[in-house]
Structure 1
Amino acid sequence: MGVGVRKESSVSIERRLRAFEVEHRDLDEIVARLSLQPDLDELLLKRLKRRKLLLKDQIALLRSSLIPNLDA
């Protein structure tokens, strides 16, 4: 096992995955609502979209870690 790499249980990974999915969905709704406002805060919108992309990457990473390694 590599330095700094820790083994996480699938239950823990699934819990984090669900939390990230909920946050991503919430941000999607917030971004949609903010986009409709006439006095749009562009900087806030950019930050929220960046956070959404980060969450999307984290979700993909966690999902891939749940797939068993078939190299045997």
Structure 2
Amino acid sequence: MNDDVPEYSEEEAALHARVKLLRLEHSDLSASIDALTEAAVPDQLMIARLKRKKLAIKDEIVKIEDQILPDIIA
């Protein structure tokens, strides 16, 4: 057995997979925003929409991470 790999419940594994997917989507949005910003005539409305979506994804990542590792009050 490999002791370096933590054991997760099915729920935790699903949350980790969801976070991984959201991080990928967040990264893709960053690349899209960068590409639109560098265009000759940037579409400011589209950039604003993508930034709002990116922020919503970041909020969801933080929410899920809080479920995985809740704050411990010492």
1:37 pairs with 2:39: yes
Q: Write the distance in 1 (CA, Å) between the matches of 2:49 and 2:13.
A: 30
User: Structure 1, unaligned stretches of length 5 or more?
Assistant: 1-7
User: Structure 2, unaligned stretches of length 5 or more?
Assistant: 1-9
| Cα distance change on mapping 1:33 and 1:13 into 2, 3 Å | same
SS at match of 1:43: helix
TM-score (norm 2): 0.78
Identity of matched residues, %: 30
Runs of 4+ that moved beyond 6 A: none
SS at match of 1:9: helix
State how many pairs are aligned: 64
Please tell me the root mean square deviation across aligned C-alpha atoms, in Å: 1.8
TM-score (norm 1): 0.80
**Paired amino acid for 1:58:** E
Residue in structure 1 matching 2:64, options 53, 62, 65:
62
